Each structure stands twice: as structure tokens, then as C-alpha cells.
Chain A
Amino acid sequence: MMLHELTLNELTARLAAGEVSSREAMQACLDRIDAVDGSINAFMSIDRDDALGQADAADERLTKGTTHAEQPLLGVPISLKDIFCVKDQPANCSSKILGNFRSPYDGTVVQKLREAGAVIFGRVNMDEFAMGSSTENSAFGPTGNPWDAERVPGGSSGGCAAAVSAQECFGSIGTDTGGSIRQPAALCGCVGIKPTYGRVSRYGVVAFASSLDQVGPMGKTVRDTATLLGAIAGHDPRDSTSVPADVPDYAAGLEGDIKGVKLGLPKEYLGEGIDPEVRAAFEAAVKQYQSLGAEIEEVSLPHAEYGVATYYILATAEASANLARFDGIRYCDRVEGDDPFALYCNTRGAGFGEEVKRRIILGTYVLSSGYYDAYYIRAQKVRTLIKRDFDRALEKVDALITPTVPYTAFKAGEKTGDPLQMYLSDIYTISCNLAGTCGISVPCGFTNDPKLPVGLQLLGKPFGEQELLKIAHAYEQSTPWHNERAAL
């Protein structure tokens, strides 16, 4: 087996045993990237010397006896979505507007990864400012799906999912505002978890929609994402919305049967518009759960159908303010003007892509005097109803079970002309962010021709990541899907 093919936890076992070095693992990733990333384009930038330097430092600690119990990610090469602030490194958010910006500080997740011993390397592609579902909205070119480079990897964390599935790294950290971790995980055939809002600090993550954004890991297996989540989760005094709740040892709590676990099947989620092969894979997954002893119960999320509309009001409203700071005054590629207003227009006009502009305009509109009550306030009320739906459903069951995406990876360019069609690709994932709870996507099969991965989504109780991961892990270990790798 080639080194890059190992899972994260297989790698740490070998690092601990002294069978491989972190430098070898890092080099294997770089070699793999050289070999396959030409067609995938997951990586936008890699500081190779810095990466190998970090790996050497990790090897030194390993030699001196530091264990993975102390530093769970010691020596493990991890890639980051281009949205995280790493000191002296670019954070472009796949946008032109930030130009040569270098972050003056490390965000909390980056600090925690460093504390856990990870080798943080490479910035992976995304939809500009995390706005999109296909990673086509990148100023640095689209990313291809490892299963078919003509197809999209999903988005906005498409670079993370593609890099993991193409085995270019041992894990990747993304963000999920309306499905941006789970949807690309499903389309690329890897695992991605969106933790409960407040579980992982947002300090140092360029904000898209502050009340919906959440950081989460993507990996080859449930166990890998559990290990990563354990490293990055926890209260952060620099993020007032992070929650001071204990972080369990997620990876240690994965084992055990799931007999008697109750899974809720939202009846609203299996209507029209779902691809028959996706439906078949999903139904097979439900059966598999039954055979593992889980009880399936139909539940109702009556306001689910308003999720996408609600999301596109609240997320764009927040984004219109969050993205205002990219104005060319303190940073960003400035395009001069005769007065400040002209400078703003020129800078932002030249720097932002079309989808970002569309959402800023939409968000500005819904907050405008005279429209605020009809849009923003109304959407907040619907959000409360959606949250209530989830609370009620999750009182009766341990988790909800749904497809992650109604279809599989689509061809590049197929939906770019129709933003609404693109928005609907998050139809199953979006409510989870509005409700603020946690969700995971795991591989649950493939379509026949072409062979493309299908994702299964499980939605858990707030701060119920441990139970969610355990339920996902039981399924994963009883099925072959997580062992399948894209032929590259």
C-alpha cells in the first residue's frame, strides 16, 4: 500500500510505531499532488519548504517520545480551505479581491491544529467566500471531482473534499454554512461533519454568514473525522458564540452496537426531484441500519420546504455586512477612484465575482428600509419554526437520516447559468445550519454509469456529535463504501 492511501488513523499508528516518518508522509502527499492535482486543481498554493519543515519538527518530537495521546495529529499532513487565517500566509477565499493579503494572525482552529501536532500545509480551493455548491465560483479556476474531473466536487468546500478523495492529504478542514462540508463530501465520496453551531471556534475564519458558519473536518473515514474534530472543537474566549461545553474523546467513543437507536426519516425529504439511483442507495442504507438493529421512524419537518428561501435571506443579509470590509482601504487590491465611494465601487467591482456580488446585492436588499420586516424579520421567524421542527423531531429519535444531496456530482457548467438550480443542491443540508445542530455525510454507495459516489446524511442533536459519529461509524464499518477510492 502506498503511503498516501493510508487513513489518518492508520498513519498515526505507523508514525507512533516509527515505521514511517512525518516527512515521508508529507512527501507522499506532495508527490501525489504532483501526480494528480493537475487534473483536479484542489490546491491553490503549497509552501513545500514550510510543510517539510513542520514535518521534520514533528519527527523530532516523535523521536523524543511525544505520543499521539498527547498530540493526536502529531506529524499528520492536513490541508485547509482557503478561508482560514494562518499567520503570514494568504487567505484569499478563492477571491481576486484580497490580492497579496497575508493574515497577521493564526485563527483558533489553526492554533489548535498546531497544538495537536498537525502539519498544516496547502490552501485548497473553494467557492469564492464560500458562496456556491460546486467550487466553480473560484477566481483561481474550478476544481474537478476525483471520480470524474469533468464533474464538480460540490462546494463550497470542494477543494477539501477533492483533496481528501484524491488522497492528496490525510484530512482537510472546511466550513459549512448551508451544506458546504456535507455536500462536497457526498459528491466526492468522503466523510464530512458539520458540528453544532458553537462547537468549533470561528475566530480566524473569514465570515460568510456568522450565525450559520461552522468549521468542520473532512476525512476518509468517520474515525478520521472524529480524531480531527476532537482536535479542533472546544470553547474559545475569542468567539462569543462558541459554547463552553466539554469535548468528549470522539474517536474513543465510536465503537459499540447501535441496537435500539432510533432514526427519523423526514417524510418531506423524499418527494420529487431526487435521483432514482440516489434514492435507491439511500433506501439500501436505511435497510442496512435496520439490519444493524436501528429502528426507523417517520418524522415530519413541516417547515423544511422553506429552508432554502429562509437561508438565502439570512445568509445573504449577514454576508452583505461581513463582506463590506473588503473595501480597499486597509487591505485588498485597491482600484483607485476620485473619492472614497468611487474607490469602493472600483475595488469591489473588480475584485468580487458574480455570485458574491449577487448575494451582496440580495443581502443589502433584504435589509433595506421598507423591506426588512417582510424579508429579514420574516425569515428569522421561519428559522425559529425550522429549529422547533428539529427540536421536536429529535425529541423522538436519536438522529435524522436523509440523503445528503438529491443527486450526484453534476457536470461543470451544468448549473452555473441557473443560480436557483444551484441553490437547490443544498436542499437537504441547509436546515441543519438554520437549526444550528450537527450533521454528517458518509458514503453510502455509487451510481452505476458513470460511477459516482452517493452520500448519506445523519443529523444529530445539538452537541450530540459523539452519538452521531457512533451511528455513522457503525454503518460505515458494516459497508464497503469507505474503502472505494477514485481511480486517478
Chain B
Amino acid sequence: MALTRRIIPCLDLKNGRVVKGTHFEDLRDAGDPVELAARYNEQGADEVVFLDITASKEARKTIIDLISRAADQLFLPLTVGGGIRTNDDITAILRAGADKVSINTAAVQNPAIISEGAAAFGTQCIVLAMDVRRNFQEAEGTNPIRLPDGSTCWYEVVTHGGSRPTGIDAIRWAKEGEERGAGEILLTSMETDGTKEGFDIPITEAIASATSIPVIASGGVGTLGHFYDGFVYGKADACLAASVFHFGEYTIKDVKEYLAAKGVPVRL
């Protein structure tokens, strides 16, 4: 037997509730996070991710209480992201019962947070979350990627929930994150997120090949086949999904049985 591929349900949280949108907009209520986390624990999820998308700093404090309530029900690895800027923020989240933190916008603004976090808490604790978008304008120092339709683009890192382009090449950023001590990369493509048309395979495969840390594919799952594609063609170590699980289209077990039948190693 071997190390298995992981299936990770992701709970986007706003003001203490799970929400789900398309392209980071049009948020819909998808339930109570503690209840959902307990359900995924029962179903055999390999890990759970909480992403706090609450805008205001004040409201964000509710996340700590939420993590501790969820962690009491959840005997699985828990990753928490959203609004983390300092080692003190990381400490508070780990104390509440999380095992890893994911850092996105704050890492772009201050890349030292990755190295400082890794030094203080270990690389296994720091997940570099990156949101990316295709850019078809040529730019120096970027890595061209060929898309299935034959066209070529580079992938640009975007921040603030996808609203701000940074000019940073995604592959270069992934490598820098690894060098700075990130233990994993959580890759979300703005092209596919919320579309249910499948993961963005070209960039997933490119980053999985360019780095030697695990890559979690995120954004776009609509069918069981999309998980298979993420692992086999995207070379992802883990696949993350939200709405297909929250709205009960598939259970974690459905996904794993499907993958096992097709020869992908999963924990059943």
C-alpha cells in the first residue's frame, strides 16, 4: 500500500456560516460549519479546510470560537485560512485546535510571513494558498503554459479574493513559497472556481511538477471524473471541493469509491 491521495472538503465561512459562491461572488448559505465538519468526519474526509472570508477584522474573532467548537468534533487534520498576517494570528488559530494555516494575500504582501511561520511552527504547518488567473498578454519572466485549445498564456497570482492582479507569475511564486518553507500549496484557479467544469489542469500539473511539496487542486469540481482528472492529469496530491459536498451531490465516500475503482489510491 502507499500514501493515499486526499479528498478535502472546504468550508468557506462568512460571519460564522458556511457560504458558497461562483467566482468568489454571489454567496449562498450552505449550513452550519460545526455540523458540516462533523458530517465530513463521519463520511471519511481526509482533512477539512476552513477559509474565513469575513471582511471585517472584528467579525473575524468569531472564527476562533468556531474552530474550537469544530475541532472538538473533528479527529482529522484541520487547516484554517483567511486574514492571517502574523505569527500571533497563527498561534491563536493553532491553539483553538487547527493543525495548519493557509496564507494567501498576506504572503504576497509580506513573503517573510511564510519563512517566519515555518521557522516557528514547522513547514508542515504552513500552507501557501494561491489564487491564479490566466493572462494572455506577454510579459517578461513569466512561464508560458499551453492550454488544451492550443493557445498559450501565463498564470498570474491574484489577491483579495481574486479581485487584484499582482503581476506575479504563479509558477515562480509557488517555487518561492516552497523555498521559504511552505509545506503545501493550495492552488485555486479563478478560471474554473465555481464553474463545475473541472479543475484547471494545465496550471495544476505545471505547479505540481515545478515543486516538490504537495499540491492541493481547488476550484471547479462538478463530477466524479473531475477528481480523477485532478489526480491523474493534474498530478495533484489532494483535491479540494466545496459545493458538491455541501449540497449533497456526492458524499466523500462516493468520490473515494469511484477513484478506488479506477486505481487511484485512497483511504476507504
Query: Are these two chains actual partners, yes or no?
Result: no
